[in-house]
Structure 1
């Protein structure tokens, strides 16, 4: 995945703040930056473009930022910014509203309106999703009701979006450029779902977008509950208040059925643990039980079908190969 990176730590300490200030002033959404400790201002930004959406990850010390009417007249790309704090706290204000967000909390901003932000308690790492206002299926006036309000990223669709962003920022280099449109669609579906939930306007979202967001939500739920032996298609459907038939329909375009995907994910977790030298003393059945397999014979048969060898043989061969490589 192609990324645009800005760092100032290779500059002399006295020049670092000015370099960041100039970069911020010349951006497509220019802002004024103020800081009380300009003598050694270490900051970094990394931006990945995903078709019509982009994600900017920033790591910035204590600072204040202002987007004024003058900045808006200079450049107004008519975007929304949805900010997720990965670490630290940020004070934010827009449209006569003020809020403070912490870790795994979101805040939304309209770039066509003045706003302010401040990291006053030290360094803050944040992921900012930037997207055209025109892409949203809601009236701008309604979306602006959410500006500078704290949105939760610890439960429900907010947690799924926070997980997606955190994982994407960590693994962006591992994705090929050809994945950008699909990742952008998935990300924007989650953003739209979060805003629709906050606005109680789910019916305004296109059915295919709702379906894609629900599919991601279902898969994340399954991943979190693989160790539960009671996890089944019926349990997944009940947890999401949908019919079993609709759950099956969600998985129709996929390679696996719901039950097959649950089994495949469990087997892959078991395979990874069996190949882990740090777990060589852990009994195979303990690993199988950890990931939801309650019957040893069923696990052994399923593992052999998936990987061509019994679990014990796979572990022996994999750990021996690992030992040879290290030796």
Structure 2
């Protein structure tokens, strides 16, 4: 794909569409309102590998985009020309040719450069790697290091260069897993004060309540601090972090149930959207805190006919 085949004013749209088709949807931002670039793609073992060479621009994955299409993947970026800036979880890394980083398509990020650049991007299904989201969070937006880095990089570069077979093999996915685990975890500098960490930890929690994996390890990994340190600064102010998360999830569910716009949303879906994987457990917790089952609370906030109320109790509360 080459944007030079269309008029200048259409190039951002053409590039944005190609990125969405080859990788994941991004919002393309360019200071001169155009992108002159070329993109090639190969698909190997369900991994989409693209080589991009383009004028200065940034691709931004907003919270809305991150919650949609393509969120079931990780990305690996390898710089090939100029410099490439990657930002995720409040961190920023600048990749030079040969350097590589990993990031999560289910979380907001931006990638690109203020100068012309080249980059190879591999879109890897999460199911292909034996790593947990917290492991990725610890090393995202950092230069990957480890004994398997050069081999992994050569494999991807050969693929886009046409010199690789149509099979990556288990060895490739194992090397990526090893790289993630060998790269030192992100750590904040000493200048970051506890008040800022507390603010950011609450922001992380508020933005990830629907994630089943949200917990102390996840928050600590994104902040770049140890779990023990997070406990030490969080507990005196807000109580145990797990308890705080549960309370916030229940508040989120209560807001859903009180909304007239959400009155037809099944209780099971309200539970999932609030981060509870077990609807029956959710109903018990909700009643224990608010004194009513989810269906009873919804009916109190949004009165319905007797028949509808009875049906809601049958479907929604199975505890």
Question: Match of 2:183, SS?
Answer: helix
Which position in structure 1 is the counterpart of 2:10?
Answer: 15
1:56-95 correspondence to structure 2 within 5 Å = 56-95=50-89
1:180 maps to 2:173: no
Cα distance, 1:23 vs. partner?
Answer: 3.2
Cα distance, 1:31 vs. partner?
Answer: 0.8
Cα distance, 1:193 vs. partner?
Answer: 3.0
User: Which digits, 9 at most, give the CA deviation of each residue in 1:228-280, with x for residues without a partner?
Assistant: xxxxxxxxxxxxxxxxxxxxxxxxxxxxxxxxxxxxxxxxxxxxxxxxxxxxx
Among residues 170, 176, 190, which one is paired with 2:175 in the alignment? Answer: 190
Q: Is the 8 A contact 1:50 1:184 kept in 2?
A: no
1:240-251 correspondence to structure 2 within 5 Å = none
1:169 maps to 2:160: yes
Question: Match of 2:59, SS?
Answer: strand
Give the distance between the partners of 2:180 and 2:59, measured in 1 at CA: 25
Give the distance between the partners of 1:193 and 1:25, measured in 2 at CA: 29
Give the distance between the partners of 1:123 and 1:25, measured in 2 at CA: 21
RMSD (CA atoms): 2.3
Gaps of at least 5 residues in structure 1 are 1-5, 201-327
Q: Is the 8 A contact 1:89 1:100 kept in 2?
A: yes
Cα distance, 1:26 vs. partner?
Answer: 5.9
Give the distance between the partners of 1:46 and 1:27, measured in 2 at CA: 9
Cα distance, 1:109 vs. partner?
Answer: 0.8
Which position in structure 1 is the counterpart of 2:131?
Answer: 138
Aligned residue pairs total: 185
Among residues 118, 127, 136, which one is paired with 1:125 in the alignment? Answer: 118
Give the distance between the partners of 2:162 and 2:47, measured in 1 at CA: 17
1:164-313 correspondence to structure 2 within 5 Å = 164-172=155-163, 179-181=165-167, 183-198=168-183
Cα distance, 1:75 vs. partner?
Answer: 1.7
Q: Is the 8 A contact 1:53 1:129 kept in 2?
A: yes
Runs (4+) off by over 4 Å: 25-28
Question: Match of 1:151, SS?
Answer: coil
Which position in structure 1 is the counterpart of 2:26?
Answer: 31
Which position in structure 2 is the counterpart of 1:275?
Answer: none
Give the distance between the partners of 2:43 and 2:3, measured in 1 at CA: 21
Gaps of at least 5 residues in structure 2 are 186-319
Judged with a 3 Å threshold, the aligned counterparts in structure 2 of structure 1 residues 20 and 198 are, in CA distance, closer, same or farther, namely: same
Q: Is the 8 A contact 1:25 1:32 kept in 2?
A: no
Cα distance, 1:28 vs. partner?
Answer: 5.7
User: Which digits, 9 at most, give the CA deviation of each residue in 1:142-183, with x for residues without a partner?
Assistant: 22211111224xx732122222222332224xx5xxx423x3
Among residues 148, 151, 157, which one is paired with 1:157 in the alignment? Answer: 148
Give the distance between the partners of 1:23 and 1:168, measured in 2 at CA: 19
Which position in structure 1 is the counterpart of 2:94?
Answer: 100
Judged with a 3 Å threshold, the aligned counterparts in structure 2 of structure 1 residues 63 and 184 are, in CA distance, closer, same or farther, namely: farther
Q: Is the 8 A contact 1:53 1:184 kept in 2?
A: no
TM-score (norm 1): 0.51
Larger mean CA deviation between 99-108 and 19-28 belongs to 19-28
Q: Is the 8 A contact 2:71 2:105 kept in 1?
A: yes
Question: Match of 2:162, SS?
Answer: helix
